[in-house]
Each structure stands twice: as structure tokens, then as C-alpha cells.
Amino acid sequence: MSFILPEYHEPDFTLDKFTSADDAKILPCERDGVAPDNFHATSIYPEYFKISGKWLLATESRMDAVVVYKGGSELDVVEARYLKKGDLVILGRSEDCEDGIYIHASGFDSPATVTDQFAFRTGRSRETAYSKDYDLLYKLLEYERENGVIAWVLGPAITFDADARRAMQSLAEGGYVHGLMAGNALAVHDLEAAYLKTALGQDIYTQISLPNGHYNHLDTINQVRRLGSIKNFVDEGYADNGIMYSVIKRGIPFALTGSIRDDGPLPEVVGDTYEGQMKMREIIKKATTIICLATQLHTIAAGNIAPSFRLVGGTIRPLYMYSVDISEYVVSKLRNRGSLSAISIETNVQDFIVNVAKGLRVF
């Protein structure tokens, strides 16, 4: 059976609470970067605003942004720091029409089906059986390869195992990777594995630490910086396998965002936090499925940037988000930060990625 997207059911705007609601209140910003008092902060769900008697959808919602009315039927969702003096900001803190604002958290709800169970299951634990989740994920990814955009958020654990690296490379080469977000460490240790066959100085197959192996990632960074870019490192033959190799060779967009603890970093790593957030957003705003593996902070960042839905060709569809980690705390943290529609799988991510690649028959 092929994957079928859940149907979105928009609100019934003929109901009295919609027809009798006043228009949303709007005030201009008095200065750059400062919203008017009582501004409305957005969520991950579809949100509608009554303007001149008509309910308008904010199509790019996400956590904790503000809504700017641009005129006509156009609403823009932006972080408050990007507001400009004179921008018309929507006000109101209620969510059920009282302020001309309606948050539609149940748009994909319908009588219980496999798809609904897949899309909105919560309350997972390490005791959960994930066989059905894998089967549904295979169908989703096969669908998304042809019809959507699959973005991956990766922690460095993926690079520490030879099979996991090859599995992730196989997924990219098989067309199942359309965007990559990670930190400096993911790229460093993946390139180290291609260049010196180690990750953090350990052989990526035997896990044996090599003499002076703790220099290997530093030597890798130094060589990439000498050549000027990861692309040059790949093009000049220093890496002929792995995740970054496949991303570069296939022209897959990627965002590497920096951290205070970074070694190096690699030339492509963005050190400015807000610039890095915007580079992640460039990938996420196109994504229809996001899979986050073993990286707590990047996972939470991606969850806060992403809505629970996507408008594609005039149709509203779910944006699927996975959080995969061996720590129950990490997958719970994403849900606690507001990404309530995230699907969690608690397992070793190296095993997870190998299972996915084998299930999709690319490995």
C-alpha cells in the first residue's frame, strides 16, 4: 500500500463564532525590532486572522514569531528582531476567535486511521515497539522522494560507525536527502572518516583508538581550511565517500551552524547564531519531512523553526518531524518545547539509519 497524505479540514467559517468575531486588532511598530504591546505570538499550528471581514491563513507559522499584515490577503510571519518601524503587527492573546484570531490545531483530525495514528502519536517510551513506525516511515520517505522535500538534522554519532556513514551516503545517493542541517562536528568527523578512516581518532569500523589519533580531526580541519572549503576538499580527492561527499556531489543544500566549543571550525560553518538560524530556515521552509538524529540542540532549534503543516500547490498538508535518539529525555524535550506533532523513536541512531537504508533497499 502506498502512502496517502491525511486530508486537511479547514475551520467551518460559517459558524457563529467566526461570523460574529471582530476583526483582529493591528498596530504599527514604533521602532525597529520592537513589537507593540499585546502582540500575538505564533505557534506551530495553522493560524487564521480576521482582516476586513475575511479569515486569512498565515502560511509560514512557527513558534514565537509575530504576524505582520502586508495588505490585501498577505500575512508575513517574522521574528520580532526583524520588525521595522511602521510594520502592522497583529495583536491578541486569545486563540478561539475572541481577538479575531483562530488557531486550528485539529485540522488533520479524522476518524482513527493508520495515517492519523502515524501523524499525531505522542507519549512514546523506550518500551515502545517501533516495527510499524519503520514500515510507515519507509512508505512516507518513498512518497516524499517523489513528491516532497526530506531534510535531515544530524549529530556526529552518525559518523562514528562505518555502516551508519555508508547507509546515510546511500540514502543521499538514492534521492532521500534534500537538505542537511548539522553542526561543525558532524562534518568534521565525517570528513575525518573519509580522509583518515577514523572519527575522533578511532577506526570507524574496529573502534580502536590509533596512536596520536586525537590529532586526526584537527589535521582534517586544517587541510580543509588550507584548501578553502569542503567542496574543494572533496573535489581534490581528499574525501571520496561519506555524508558530506554525497551532499557536495549531489548539490544538496546544507547548513552547518557553529558552537562556542567548535574546533576550527570548517570554512562553511556559520558562527553567527542568527545567520545560522536563517540558513536553517532556508532549508526548513521547503521541507515536508524533517528527521532529527542524535543532536539535542539542533533538534530543538529545527522544531522551533518548523510549523506542523506546509502549504504545497495550494493544498495544506502535514509537515512530518521525527526525533530519533537513544535518550528518552532528548525526544521528550522536543515535544516539551512545543513541537507536539513530532514523532519520537528511542533507539541507537546508527542502527536506525542502517535499518532505514535497508528498508528502502538502498543499502
pLDDT of residue 115: 46
Q: What SS3 class is residue 83?
A: coil
Asked whether the CA dihedral 34, 40, 41, 44 is positive or negative, the reply is negative
Which of 336, 65, 297, 23 has the alpha carbon at shortest distance from 181?
A: 297
Looking up cell 493591528 gives 26
What whole-number distance in Å separates Cα of residue 42 and Cα of residue 358? Answer: 39
pLDDT of residue 337: 55
Which of 115, 169, 105, 109 has the alpha carbon at shortest distance from 137?
A: 115
What whole-number distance in Å separates Cα of residue 285 and Cα of residue 306? Answer: 7
Which of 204, 158, 147 has the alpha carbon at shortest distance from 181?
A: 158
Q: CA separation (Å) from 291 to 276, 277, 297, 298? A: 19, 17, 14, 11
Are the beta carbons of 160 and 174 closer than 8 angstroms? no
Tell me which of 3.55.10.10, 3.40.50.10690, 3.40.50.300, 3.20.190.10 is the CATH number of domain 114-359.
Answer: 3.40.50.10690
Q: What is the 3-state secondary structure (H, E, C) of 315-343?
A: EEEECEEEEEECCHHHHHHHHHCCCCCCE
pLDDT of residue 121: 46
Q: Delimit the CATH 3.40.50.10690 region(s) of the chain.
A: 114-359
Q: Is 0.75 topped by the overall pTM?
A: yes
What whole-number distance in Å separates Cα of residue 274 and Cα of residue 23? Answer: 33
Which of 145, 172, 348 has the alpha carbon at shortest distance from 252?
A: 172
pLDDT of residue 124: 61
pLDDT of residue 127: 66
What whole-number distance in Å separates Cα of residue 97 and Cα of residue 95? Answer: 6
C-alpha radius of gyration, the chain, whole number: 22
Task: Give the relative orientation of helices 243-250 and 184-196 as an angle to the nearest 10 degrees.
Answer: 100
pLDDT of residue 113: 45
95: Cβ–Cβ under 8 A, 6 or more apart, which residues? 101, 102, 103
Q: Delimit the CATH 2.40.420.10 region(s) of the chain.
A: 16-103
CATH 2.40.420.20 fits 16-103, yes or no: no
Long-range contacts of residues 232-240, Cβ cutoff 8 Å, at least 24 apart: 233/191, 233/195, 238/191, 238/194, 238/195, 239/191, 239/194, 239/195, 240/194
Which of 289, 319, 361, 341 has the alpha carbon at shortest distance from 137?
A: 289
pLDDT of residue 130: 87
What whole-number distance in Å separates Cα of residue 35 and Cα of residue 12? Answer: 31
Q: CA separation (Å) from 254 to 119, 200, 280, 320? A: 26, 22, 8, 19
Per-10-residue mean pLDDT, the chain, length 363? 90 98 98 98 96 97 95 97 98 97 91 46 64 94 97 97 97 98 98 97 95 97 98 98 98 97 96 96 97 93 93 94 88 64 89 98 96
| One-letter identity of residue 142 | E
